[in-house]
Structure 1
Amino acid sequence: MDLGIAGRKAIVCASSKGLGRACAEALAAAGCHVVINGRDTATLTATAEAIRAAGGAATAVAADVSTPEGQQRLVAACPDADILVNNNAGPPPASYTTLDREKILRGVTQNMVTPIELVQALAPGMAERGFGRIVNITSASVLTPLEGLDLSSGARAGLTAFLAGVARQLAPRGVTVNHILPGAFATDRLTGIMRGAAEAAGRDAAAVARERAAAIPVGRFGEPDEFGKLCAFLCSAHAGYITGQNFLIDGGAFRAAF
């Protein structure tokens, strides 16, 4: 399917690896010029080179998107972005009893304040030009609590609620705002979480991974490429009638009829 976005410009935050990279690759394959971002220069450069080798166009911006300086560098690299994919690392798993004010504020800044600030910076220009696609990568934990991810869940749920009204304000101007809620995907973050859980329980990490995959109805972890293609569709010319929605992609792990 031709997504109708060839020649569009996209900023994809935290996209040197994992789900962010998958989104950048899918958008580049659809003909977008992607501005990718990460803190590790070597990893970021390798990702940009891989996108170019596959025939895509990519600009790499090494920066921490959580900081005002990092956001300024991203926006300066593409001030007239047509597409914004908000993504950022979540706080590490931790009991709510161990979270102090500084940790809570850092988590909320990463997963709520930062994407809001980027929407503020880029959505007005999208509205002026009459086209825009904003996709926020949140988490399945917005819908169902996951022990130890309380801070991440709370910050991402706050972002979802904040942008619910904003999505309706932007809709008449051709700008859509949607959220993708990933479940368990085969990424470095998931591997790290499972390794930590295995160590804490004195168990083999591979066994823990097999058990967790078996608990998902489709019997496996998601592949980042699957996630990226969903993101690209929501950014496409065909998704203009979809806004203010949450798309759960978790292999059926969240058990609900609605």
Structure 2
Amino acid sequence: MDLGIAGRTAILCASSAGLGRGCAEALAEAGARIILNGRNAEKLETTAAAIRQSTGAEVIAVAADVGTEAGRQALLAAAPDADILVNNNAGPPLRPFEDLDADKIRAGLESNLVTPTLLIHALLPGMVERRFGRIVNITSGSVKMPLPGLDLSSGARAGLTGLVAGVARSVAHANVTINNLLPGSFDTDRIASIVAQAAAKSGASEAEERARREASIPARRLGTPAEFGATCAFLCSAHAGYITGQSLLIDGGTFPGIL
């Protein structure tokens, strides 16, 4: 399917690996111009070169921490009139609630609520003026099904979900959409870290802990960044203008509810 976004410019935060990279690759395959982002300049350029080679897309690498004002300004300077924004940032580490303090709470909110909100705030007026915009926030399945140890992540991402709900309705008339993708367990470095922590706590091997996690998913496997990216690309497409203010859970059937 032609997604109708060839030539559009897309900013993808934290996209040198994992789910962000999956989204970048899918948008590049659709013909978008990619603003790739990551903190490790060497890793970022390796990813950018790979996407250029595999898709032929124009890929601009911006090495910056999107959680800082300087990092956000660097991204916006690379594409002040971006048509597509995919918000993504590392979530707070797995941590018991009792281990949180004021500084850790502020850092979690800064990364997963304040940062995406500021980027949306900066790009939204131009999208409305040009009568095209697609914003996708990568949040977490824990927004719908909170998980012990991810309390701060759940809270910050749920806050972002609530914040953009009204904004999405206010700009829908201008062919600007804002949606959220809620990943469950995907085969990424973050899941590897969570599996390693769980294994250390339980005394099981990492392979056993991973198998246990996969067995708990109705699909009996972890998701792949490629299939996550394909979903993101469709939400960013010209065909998705009637989908806005939604939170799409992608978790292999783990969440047991119907809504």
* TM-score for both structures, normalised by structure 1: 0.99
In structure 2, give the amino acid aligned to 1:150: D
Instruction: Summarize deviations over 1:200-233 as a string: whole Å, max 9, x none.
Output: 1211110010011011001100011000000000
Alignment partner, residue 36 of structure 1: 36
Instruction: Summarize deviations over 1:19-48 as a string: whole Å, max 9, x none.
Output: 000000000000000101000111100010
Alignment partners' CA distance in 1, 2:102 and 2:171: 34
Alignment partner, residue 194 of structure 1: 195
- After TM superposition, the structure 1 = structure 2 runs for residues 80-99 of structure 1, keeping only pairs within 5 Å, are 80-99=81-100
SS in 1 for 2:137: strand
Alignment partner, residue 165 of structure 1: 166
Alignment partners' CA distance in 2, 1:220 and 1:255: 17
The alignment-based identity, stated in percent, is 61
SS in 1 for 2:80: coil
SS in 2 for 1:166: helix
In structure 1, give the amino acid aligned to 2:136: V
Alignment partner, residue 144 of structure 1: 145
Range with bigger deviation, 105-114 or 165-174: 165-174
Alignment partner, residue 75 of structure 2: 74
Alignment partner, residue 257 of structure 1: 258
Alignment partners' CA distance in 1, 2:67 and 2:216: 34
Alignment partners' CA distance in 1, 2:124 and 2:83: 9
Alignment partner, residue 18 of structure 2: 18
Alignment partner, residue 113 of structure 2: 112
Alignment partner, residue 180 of structure 1: 181
Shift of 1:57: 1.5
Alignment partners' CA distance in 1, 2:113 and 2:258: 28
In structure 1, give the amino acid aligned to 2:38: G
Instruction: Summarize deviations over 1:133-169 as a string: whole Å, max 9, x none.
Output: 0000000000011010000000000000000000011
Q: Number of residues paired by the alignment?
A: 258
Alignment partner, residue 27 of structure 1: 27
Alignment partners' CA distance in 2, 1:257 and 1:76: 42
Shift of 1:56: 1.8
Extract unaligned runs of 5+ from structure 2: none
Shift of 1:251: 0.3
Alignment partners' CA distance in 2, 1:170 and 1:64: 28
Extract unaligned runs of 5+ from structure 1: none
**What CA RMSD, in Å, does the superposition of the two structures yield over aligned residues?**
0.5
Alignment partner, residue 232 of structure 1: 233
In structure 2, give the amino acid aligned to 1:176: T
Structure 1 ranges of 4+ moved more than 2 A: none
Alignment partner, residue 209 of structure 1: 210
* TM-score for both structures, normalised by structure 2: 0.99
In structure 2, give the amino acid aligned to 1:208: E
Alignment partners' CA distance in 1, 2:11 and 2:105: 27
